[in-house]
């Protein structure tokens, strides 16, 4: 008995490097040997899906990319899935970037999804990359008041007046829907405060997991129509549209890692109690 | 004194009033300033300031090298990295098809190469370190010390398991059994009577088992104990209530603090 | 009705607004009227209590444990002969939190000047560097120790979030400060900092209004100033009556808000049941 | 493309060097950390210059639209252009802006900021700081009051609009959930009430508030775990990609060399007496 107790309390003082090693292994192994666990959509993901499905055909969708390489694993999958759905439903996509590195992400998106999977969609008619403009919130306000003043040329240096799908797009109110893929500031919160709230154009968002809590009160209050929460949010959306992608494939590693962390927490607590008992005895 | 103190305070008040009340004014010049120019000016200012910062960084690191302070060898890498980035930014474009200015976001430039193979792995890996830290932090911090800590732990675990596919596989009955055991601990602490505890736990487990056989052990029933549904509730209701309280507190705090700056009640940020 | 000047002032503002309204309120965005009234009411309350405090009225304010601990932390560093590390967040002075962080830095600098403890402030924005230096210089001067102040106490690392985190990390493991204070706006780097600080055994106090980062600070630091507490910090630390009055004013606003929520709930329910036609939700939706 | 393969090797080295910090603070991490600080400072300096100063400031002061070679104003520009054509291309800067000479104000503030390196002129920076604080205060005061306070007051009110609202339901709105939200929000808000001791009834309400805050923190924490693991997955996927034959198995080679080096240094440290 004493041996077991000693062992448990030793786990309690485990060098954190062992934890690091185990985490690395449990994330790495499922990447090679996937399990194929089922995916179930949460309410807020379903809301995004419903909002997108209920858009009129040929709706003008503003897709704003506000993330960079460091949060790419979380946001890229959901943007991929969303764009697939939007193009399949024949909506028009206008891409803007509030972060300079967002433009790299958008280029990657065009290269890997749009050009590869939708060769019949043409640039300037079905989708356009307006690109990055510096200024953060000022860019949002600029889009709200007069997008043509802010974007005289797109990211490929084409004059906006020569882009067919930019016809009749003058300000934010001319869009039917906004999706902000956001990893921080400026991002979802600023879009709510300066664009969606003041104009009433519906918006949904996809954020990094960590930001979810910050945005949740807006979602609960209906200011934002649903939220895709991190990589699992992307996986859920992929499940709803029936096209599995990067999000789904990461979910096994994610599941196992969570279980292992929960086990750590339980061990930690057992060790804590054993320690406390010991301390009381002496 | 006038130049060093009075003018800055006047600038804060003027700009502050303009940007605050500009929200209500439908006059093109003021509207333009508030909606566009005000933040652009700040961005320009910050872009000038960053040169100042870079200078300071270079100064500190070169001092280290020249004085051969501990770890001076590493400072060479910092200075070298900075110079390399400046060369990629201002001297060598690497792709003649792209104009200066567009090279920082365009394809095929040296700057883009640096971004992709140096900047991206460094920042993404630094970020990924958090996966390890968050594990060790939760291991250490999630201890059942008191009621508050227990709430933190329970809601954390439910979200962690309920959000991922594996949560779907965890039967509500399993969670129900755990809950009864958990309440058993509480009952034990409350009454300090082994018989009551035993009676509660055995009775609870027995009742659950009977109910289970009667209902045929469905995975997602009773819904209250099914993790994917439970986490959705936690996330939508108590979580939002807490988050909203903090949000309103922050909103008020920021409003009040901003007003203190604009009205000149607090001015220690420029020294008093 | 104690403060005559205040009420006269308020009367004049209201009268002017009335006149402006009656002459046809040119250039006014009338759909934002509710916000204008909210701003006037809220700032009026704040000003009223600030003036009340200045005129000598004192208020009770409960303790905030994290703020008491700041002086202890500096004291401990002094005993151990180690430095105090102060991180004013990673954002620029265009965030109110950063400004609040710089103000708290001023107070901390006073303590380090008094105890002759070395202070190390790595920053991530050059404007913050400038402002931080001004605040520290002033504090050391006020404590009569300008000889201890050096410009490079407040030094710039880099604008990049994670590079900054890596740099501060390095400072922590190599210089081993005895106290780490994080006060400002933080993003994901919060946990990198707090975990590393924990691993070197430093006493850690955090203050932030970055909602998503509060949980990490709460779990990894010894004390955390949550949201509004952080904005109250400068008032608590300075003990200046005009700032303390502002805190009291903020409390009154909170009471008012709770009242509005309760009344609003009643009105909304009445509206939902069709008893009244006035829509509270619509009223508070400002575009 | 050799640039890409070289890049992959560097990327792998830097990635593994940062990860090596998890073992302990070591030479590889120190190198990567210093490179990171240096590179990123240079990166953002260039980025800010090319996305702010050049297009938004110079582009507004000397736009190509109003270019007039004979005017004095563009004479200055031509002189600058003679010094550096990449920043000041011939014929003015075409970024779609009109001429806004009001931008001389931020220009002047920026120059003052730069001049403040000189000790005598260090107060020059104060004007820029003052502008920044004033602007932030005005803009944020409105935005936060509207979206974080007024809108949340509105959202906190009870929502019984649905006539068939169930009394209790876990998903979606219900009488129970609506009331719970209201109670949680108000008690949480009262926790932040400073001018009253948290005792008696008020203390109990504030306690309930803390419980809600704690549940919220726990949920946040759970989400954070989720997000962080996703990022790690992303990193591993990249490392696996770089282990491809196309990149000459960069990952495995760098990993082996690094482990050997760290192991050797650990072995050496063990052998020699600790310098203490």
Q: Say if residue A282's pLDDT is above 80.
A: no
pLDDT of amino acid D1? 56
C200 and C230 both lie in a single domain: yes
C97 and C216 both lie in a single domain: yes
Print the SS3 string covering chain C: CCCHHHHHHHHHHHHHHHHHHHCCCCCECHHHHHHHHHHHHHHHHHHHHHHHHHCCCCCCCCCCHHHHHHHHHHHHHHHHCCCEEEECCCCCCCCHHHHHHHHHHHHHHHHHHHHCCCEEEEECCHHHHHHHHHHHHHHHHHCCCHHHCCHHHEEECCCCHHHHHHHHHHHHHHHCCCEEEEEECCCCHHHHHHHHHHHCCCEEEEEECCHHHHHHHHHHCCEEEECHHHHHHHHHHHCCHHHHHHHHHHHHHHHHHHHHHHHHHHHHHHHHCCCCCCCHHHHCCCC
- For testing contact with chain D, the best of B41, B54, B172, B272 (most D CBs within 10 A): B41
C200 and C85 both lie in a single domain: yes
Q: Is residue A129 a part of any domain in this protein?
A: yes
C24 and C150 both lie in a single domain: no
| pLDDT, greater one: B64 or A35 | B64
With CB atoms and an 8 Å threshold, state whether D220 touches C212. Answer: yes
Query: What's the domain count of chain D?
Result: 1
Q: Does residue C150 sit at the B interface (CB-CB below 8 Å)?
A: no
C30 and C84 both lie in a single domain: no
Domain end point (choices C202, C222, C238) = C238
Range of the domain at B77: 2-133
C225 and C145 both lie in a single domain: yes
pLDDT confidence tier of residue D32, bands split at 50, 70 and 90: very high
- The predicted-structure confidence for A226-246, as pLDDT tens digits, reads as follows 999 888 899 999 999 988 888
Q: Is A181 helix (H, G, I), strand (E, B) or coil?
A: strand
B82 and B166 both lie in a single domain: no
Domain end point (choices B133, B168, B201) = B133
Q: Say if residue A152's pLDDT is above 90.
A: no
pLDDT of amino acid C287? 63
B147 and B129 both lie in a single domain: no
pLDDT of amino acid A11? 67
Q: Is residue A1 a part of any domain in this protein?
A: no
B165 and B211 both lie in a single domain: yes
Q: How far is CA A153 from CA A150, A160, B4, B52, B57, in A?
A: 9, 5, 43, 32, 37
The CA distance from D119 to the nearest CA of chain A, in Å, is: 31
CA distance linking residue A156 with residue D62, whole number of Å: 23
Q: Is residue B242 a part of any domain in this protein?
A: no
Look at the block and give the residue holding tokens 């990635």. D15
C16 and C84 both lie in a single domain: no
B129 and B146 both lie in a single domain: no
Q: Is residue A138 a part of any domain in this protein?
A: yes
- The predicted-structure confidence for B185-205, as pLDDT tens digits, reads as follows 888 888 888 888 888 888 888
- The predicted-structure confidence for B5-56, as pLDDT tens digits, reads as follows 889 999 999 999 999 988 888 888 888 888 778 888 988 999 999 999 999 9
B38 and B128 both lie in a single domain: yes
Q: Is B158 helix (H, G, I), strand (E, B) or coil?
A: helix
Query: What's the domain count of chain A?
Result: 1
- The predicted-structure confidence for B69-84, as pLDDT tens digits, reads as follows 988 999 999 999 999 9
Q: Is residue A71 a part of any domain in this protein?
A: yes
B33 and B15 both lie in a single domain: yes
Q: Is residue D111 a part of any domain in this protein?
A: yes
Query: What's the domain count of chain B?
Result: 2
pLDDT of amino acid B224? 80
For range D195-224, the mean pLDDT: 90
Distance, C-alpha D105 to centroid of its chain: 27
CATH number at residue C88: 3.40.50
Range of the domain at A166: 43-246
B118 and B174 both lie in a single domain: no
Range of the domain at C89: 65-238
- For testing contact with chain C, the best of A135, A210, A227 (most C CBs within 10 A): A210
Q: Is residue B147 a part of any domain in this protein?
A: yes
Domain end point (choices B133, B158, B179) = B133
pLDDT of amino acid D275? 45
- Tell me the ipTM for this assembly: 0.89
Q: Is residue B110 a part of any domain in this protein?
A: yes
The CA distance from D8 to the nearest CA of chain C, in Å, is: 20
Quickly list DSSP for B85-108: HHIIIII--S-TTS-TTGGGTSTT
CA distance linking residue A32 with residue A14, whole number of Å: 28
CATH number at residue A60: 3.40.50.10160
Q: Is residue D146 a part of any domain in this protein?
A: yes
C207 and C95 both lie in a single domain: yes
B123 and B155 both lie in a single domain: no
Contacts of D226 in chain A (CB under 8 A): 209, 229-232, 254, 258
For range A76-91, the mean pLDDT: 93
- The predicted-structure confidence for A11-64, as pLDDT tens digits, reads as follows 667 778 888 999 999 988 888 888 878 888 888 899 999 999 999 989 999 999
| pLDDT, greater one: C170 or D237 | C170
C-D contacts at Cβ under 8 angstroms: 178
Q: Is residue B88 a part of any domain in this protein?
A: yes
B174 and B150 both lie in a single domain: yes
With CB atoms and an 8 Å threshold, state whether C212 touches A16. Answer: no
C165 and C224 both lie in a single domain: yes
Q: Say if residue B2's pLDDT is above 50.
A: yes
H or E stretch at A131: strand A127-132
Range of the domain at D131: 106-156
pTM: predicted TM-score of the whole model, two decimal places: 0.90
Contacts of B41 in chain D (CB under 8 A): 103, 105-106, 109, 131, 135
The closest alpha carbon to A269, from C210, B206, B77, B154, belongs to: B154
C250 and C191 both lie in a single domain: no
B122 and B148 both lie in a single domain: no
CA distance linking residue A46 with residue A35, whole number of Å: 24
Contacts of B269 in chain C (CB under 8 A): 99, 102-103, 106, 131, 134-135
C48 and C119 both lie in a single domain: no
């Amino acid at each position: 008995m004493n041996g077991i107790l000693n062992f448990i309390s030793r786990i309690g003082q485990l060098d954190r490097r062992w934890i690091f090693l185990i985490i690395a292994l449990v994330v790495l192994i499922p990447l090679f040997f996937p399990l194929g666990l089922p995916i179930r959509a949460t309410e807020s993901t379903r809301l995004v899906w419903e909002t997108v499905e209920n858009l009129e055909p040929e709706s003008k969708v503003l897709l704003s990319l506000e993330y960079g390489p460091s949060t790419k694993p979380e946001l890229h999958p959901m943007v991929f899935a969303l764009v697939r759905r939007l193009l399949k439903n024949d909506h028009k996509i206008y891409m803007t970037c509030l972060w300079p590195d967002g433009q790299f992400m958008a280029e990657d998106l065009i290269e890997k999804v749009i050009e590869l999977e939708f060769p019949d969609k043409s640039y300037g008619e079905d989708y356009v990359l307006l690109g990055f403009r510096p200024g953060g919130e000022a860019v949002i306000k600029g889009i709200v008041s007069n997008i043509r003043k802010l974007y005289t040329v797109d990211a490929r240096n084409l004059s906006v007046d020569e882009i067919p799908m930019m016809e009749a797009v003058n300000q934010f109110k001319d869009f039917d829907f906004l999706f902000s893929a956001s990893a921080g500031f400026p991002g979802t919160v600023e879009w709510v405060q300066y664009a969606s709230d003041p104009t009433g154009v519906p918006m949904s968002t996809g954020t990094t997991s960590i930001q979810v809590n910050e945005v949740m009160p807006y979602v609960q209050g209906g200011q934002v129509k649903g939220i895709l929460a991190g990589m699992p949010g992307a996986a859920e959306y992929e499940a709803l549209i029936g096209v599995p992608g990067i999000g789904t494939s990461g979910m096994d590693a994610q599941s196992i890692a969570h279980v292992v962390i929960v086990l750590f927490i339980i061990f930690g607590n057992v060790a804590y109690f054993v320690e406390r008992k010991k301390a009381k005895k002496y | 004194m006038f130049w060093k103190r009075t003018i800055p305070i006047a600038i804060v008040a003027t700009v502050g009033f303009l940007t605050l009340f500009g929200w209500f004014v439908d006059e093109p010049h003021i509207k333009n300033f508030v909606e566009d120019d005000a933040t652009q000016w700040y961005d320009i200012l910050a872009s000038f300031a960053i040169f100042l910062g870079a200078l300071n960084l270079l100064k500190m690191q070169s001092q280290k090298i020249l004085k051969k302070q501990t770890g001076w060898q590493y400072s060479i890498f910092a200075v070298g990295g900075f110079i390399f980035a400046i060369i990629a930014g201002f001297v060598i474009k690497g792709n003649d098809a792209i104009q200066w200015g567009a090279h920082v976001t365009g394809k095929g430039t040296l700057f883009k190469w640096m971004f992709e193979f140096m900047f991206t792995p460094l920042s993404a890996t630094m970020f990924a370190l958090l996966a390890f830290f968050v594990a060790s932090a939760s291991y250490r911090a999630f201890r059942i010390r008191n009621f508050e800590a227990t709430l933190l732990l329970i809601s954390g675990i439910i979200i962690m398991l309920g959000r991922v596919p594996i949560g779907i596989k965890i039967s509500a009955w399993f969670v129900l059994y755990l809950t009864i055991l958990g309440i058993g601990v509480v009952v034990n602490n409350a009454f300090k009577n082994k018989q009551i505890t035993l009676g509660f736990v055995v009775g609870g487990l027995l009742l659950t088992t009977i109910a289970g056989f009667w209902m045929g052990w469905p995975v997602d029933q009773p819904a209250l104990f099914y993790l994917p549904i439970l986490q959705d509730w936690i996330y939508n209701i108590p979580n939002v209530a807490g988050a909203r309280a903090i949000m309103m507190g922050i909103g008020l705090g920021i409003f009040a603090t901003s007003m203190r700056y604009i009205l000149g009640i607090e001015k220690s940020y420029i020294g008093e | 009705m104690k403060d005559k000047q205040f009420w006269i002032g308020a009367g004049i503002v209201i009268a002017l607004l009335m006149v402006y309204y009656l002459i046809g309120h040119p250039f006014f965005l009338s759909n934002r009227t509710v916000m204008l009234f909210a701003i006037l009411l809220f700032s009026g309350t704040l000003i009223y209590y600030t003036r009340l405090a200045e005129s000598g009225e004192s208020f009770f304010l409960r303790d905030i444990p994290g703020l008491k601990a700041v002086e202890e932390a500096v004291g401990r560093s002094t005993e151990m002969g180690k430095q105090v590390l102060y991180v004013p967040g990673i954002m620029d002075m265009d965030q109110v939190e950063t400004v609040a962080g710089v103000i708290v830095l001023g107070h901390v600098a006073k303590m380090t000047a008094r105890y002759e403890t070395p202070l190390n402030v790595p920053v991530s924005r050059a404007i913050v560097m400038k402002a931080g230096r001004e605040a520290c210089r002033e504090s050391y001067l006020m404590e009569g120790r300008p000889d201890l102040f050096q410009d490079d106490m407040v030094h710039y690392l880099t604008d990049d979030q994670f590079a900054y985190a890596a740099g501060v990390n390095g400072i922590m493991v190599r210089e081993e400060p005895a106290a780490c204070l994080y006060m400002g706006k933080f993003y994901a780097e919060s946990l990198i900092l707090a975990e590393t600080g924990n691993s070197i055994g430093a006493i850690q106090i955090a203050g932030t209004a970055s909602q998503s980062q509060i949980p990490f600070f709460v779990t990894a630091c010894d004390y955390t100033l949550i949201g509004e507490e952080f904005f109250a910090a400068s008032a608590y630390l300075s003990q200046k009556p005009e700032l303390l009055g502002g805190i009291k004013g903020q409390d009154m606003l909170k009471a008012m808000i709770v009242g509005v929520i309760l009344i609003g709930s009643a009105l909304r329910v009445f509206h939902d049941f069709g008893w009244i036609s006035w829509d509270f939700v619509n009223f508070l939706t400002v575009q | 493309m050799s640039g890409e393969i070289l890049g992959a090797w560097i990327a792998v080295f830097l990635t593994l060097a940062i990860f090596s910090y998890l073992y302990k603070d070591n030479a590889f991490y120190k190198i990567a950390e210093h490179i990171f600080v240096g590179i990123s400072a240079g990166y953002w300096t260039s980025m800010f210059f090319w996305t702010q100063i050049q297009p938004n400031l110079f582009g507004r002061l000397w736009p190509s639209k109003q270019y007039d070679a004979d005017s004095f104003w563009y004479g200055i520009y031509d002189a600058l252009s003679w010094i550096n054509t990449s920043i000041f291309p011939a014929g003015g800067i075409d970024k779609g802006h009109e001429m806004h000479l009001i931008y001389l104000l931020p220009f002047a503030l920026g120059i003052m900021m730069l001049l403040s390196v000189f000790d005598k002129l260090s107060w020059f920076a104060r004007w820029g700081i003052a502008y920044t604080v004033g602007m932030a205060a005005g803009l944020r005061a409105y935005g936060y009051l509207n979206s974080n306070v007024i809108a949340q007051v509105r959202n906190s009110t009870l929502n019984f609009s649905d006539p068939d609202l169930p009394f209790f339901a876990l998903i979606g709105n219900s009488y129970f959930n609506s009331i719970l939200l209201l109670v949680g929000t108000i008690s949480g808000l009262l926790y932040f009430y400073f001018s009253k001791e948290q005792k008696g009834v008020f203390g109990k309400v504030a306690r309930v508030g803390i419980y809600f805050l704690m549940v919220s923190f726990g949920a946040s924490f759970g989400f954070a775990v989720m997000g962080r693991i996703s990022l790690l997955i992303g990193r591993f996927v990249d490392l696996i990609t770089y282990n491809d034959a196309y990149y000459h198995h960069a990952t495995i080679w760098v990993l082996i060399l690094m482990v050997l080096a760290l192991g050797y240094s650990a072995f050496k440290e063990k052998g020699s007496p600790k310098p203490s």
